[in-house]
Structure 1
């Protein structure tokens, strides 16, 4: 199951991270921690940092360097209007796909019950 989850996350992780940023600005480690708190325990920080670079390049977030108590300044990511638009489209697409998948699952379960 872990391999399937990893493969499915590849197409949805951008939206998941943007959903986290919709609540409040955060830096990379905070985002990784929130993902882990939500059950995404296998996601490594390196994956999130690469994703943050990608969504910054796509213009979905604004970035500010904030002084850190320890070490160099932290990059804090804030969802911007373009990112909110992408997130809205993500949720619309997610709803469409999840409804279709659930329909297929229910149809398949129904057919399995008939001895097929």
Structure 2
């Protein structure tokens, strides 16, 4: 199964979840997503998602100087982002539970 479409639908949730534990800059967030099992995630998708979530008021940013190159723009969850993560997490869990039931033949009436 091609996971590209699935990733598009859950990337916002995945990025918010990664930022729940610790603030991060673009490449770091992408690395954490890949380490969690989303290996097929593209750079442009992550950076576009970060911009979209920031513009939606769900993230804050700050800049940290770097001695090894350009300054890094860090992203952090704010209160609105945490609320969105909670709401989206509940929706995802309900959806995943429904899909699990369907795949296990528990939710299909004969």
TM-score of the superposed pair, with normalisation by structure 1: 0.86
Deviating beyond 4 angstroms after TM superposition, the runs of 4 or more aligned structure 1 residues are: 108-111
Structure 2 residue runs without a partner (length 5+): none
The alignment status of 1:86 with 2:84, answered yes or no, reads yes
Root mean square deviation of aligned Cα: 1.9
Q: What is the rounded CA distance, in whole Å, between the counterparts of 2:108 and 2:54 in structure 1?
A: 45
Q: What is the rounded CA distance, in whole Å, between the counterparts of 2:80 and 2:33 in structure 1?
A: 22
Normalized per residue, the structure richer in helix is 1
TM-score of the superposed pair, with normalisation by structure 2: 0.91
How much does 1:103 deviate? 1.5
Structure 1 residue runs without a partner (length 5+): none
Which string of whole-angstrom CA distances, capped at 9 and with x for unpartnered residues, describes residues 18-73 of structure 1? Answer: 00000010000001111111121111222111111000000111100111123321
May I ask how many residue pairs the two structures share in their alignment? 110
